[in-house]
Chains A and B, each alone.
Chain A
Amino acid sequence: EDQVTQSPEALRLQEGESSSLNCSYTVSGLRGLFWYRQDPGKGPEFLFTLYSAGEEKEKERLKATLTKKESFLHITAPKPEDSATYLCALAGTGRRALTFGSGTRLQVQP
């Protein structure tokens, strides 16, 4: 069974303090690893897709990386508007639906 575990559950950073969020996974065959952002009271918003180990994607202050067992979301010099819950999800072979982790709640204080 596909499983996604995210850590930490919550993270509080000062503005400008870089950090990383972790997503570890188990899957029989990986079709893709996805990162989403979710603001309170809203649906998740797609950020990145990673398909194979070694792949990296960047968008503004965010960079996502992938290994065979983990993915990291690196946040460089975060701003208060980066505060949100970041969700990791995977698609395994044989399933069309995504399996989501519980997310990391990020709070960036000015």
Chain B
Amino acid sequence: DTGVSQDPRHKITKRGQNVTFRCDPISEHNRLYWYRQTLGQGPEFLTYFQNEAQLEKSRLLSDRFSAERPKGSFSTLEIQRTEQGDSAMYLCASSLETNTGELFFGEGSRLTVL
């Protein structure tokens, strides 16, 4: 399978714990995005990488959230001191630099904070 893969698919954690999600994009895609989606809403932009550089970060993103993309390959999204409001589906997407509107999404990582 050469699509975008995300791990884990589901994560249940207690409030205050840290969680980390991993995304492996399509290998030739140099752009990688993280979005968050809650029930009944569209995806909400979190952050974006071109290769290893984090070029844009949502103003809504708390400093508890951090993302990395070492070596421009896979990416991780860490949420520190989770809160119940962090419960959502975290979606990763990748794209070619030349076709930035056609995003290829993974199946998401669903986070439940108890």
Contacts and interface: CB of A to CB of B under 8 A. Distances in A.
B42 to A, nearest CB: 3
Contact of A34 (B40, B101, B106): B101
Interface stretch (B43-51, B62-70, B71-79): B43-51
A102 B92 CA distance: 18
A43 B56 contact: no
A98 interface: yes
A102 B39 CA distance: 10
Interface in A23-62: 31-32, 34, 41-46, 49
A98 B50 CA distance: 15
Contacts of A96: 31, 48, 50, 55-56, 100
Interface of A: 4, 6, 9, 31-32, 34, 41-46, 49, 87, 89, 91, 95-103
A41 B56 contact: no
A34 B106 CA distance: 18
Given A96-B48, A100-B44, A32 B33 contact: no
Nearest to B42: A100
Nearest to A6: B42
A44 B43 contact: yes
Nearest to B3: A43
Contacts of B101: 31-32, 34, 49, 89, 91, 98
Contacts of B41: 102-103
A4 B4 CA distance: 26
A46 B103 CA distance: 7
A87 B42 contact: yes
Contact of B107 (A42, A46, A102, A103): A42
The interface centre, meaning the residue of B40, B41, B43 with most chain A CB atoms within 10 A of its CB, is B43
Contacts of A41: 107-108
Given A42-B107, A43-B93, A100-B35, 20 more contacts: A31-B101, A34-B101, A41-B107, A43-B105, A43-B108, A44-B43, A44-B91, A45-B105, A46-B104, A49-B102, A96-B31, A96-B50, A96-B55, A97-B45, A97-B48, A97-B56, A98-B101, A100-B44, A101-B42, A102-B42
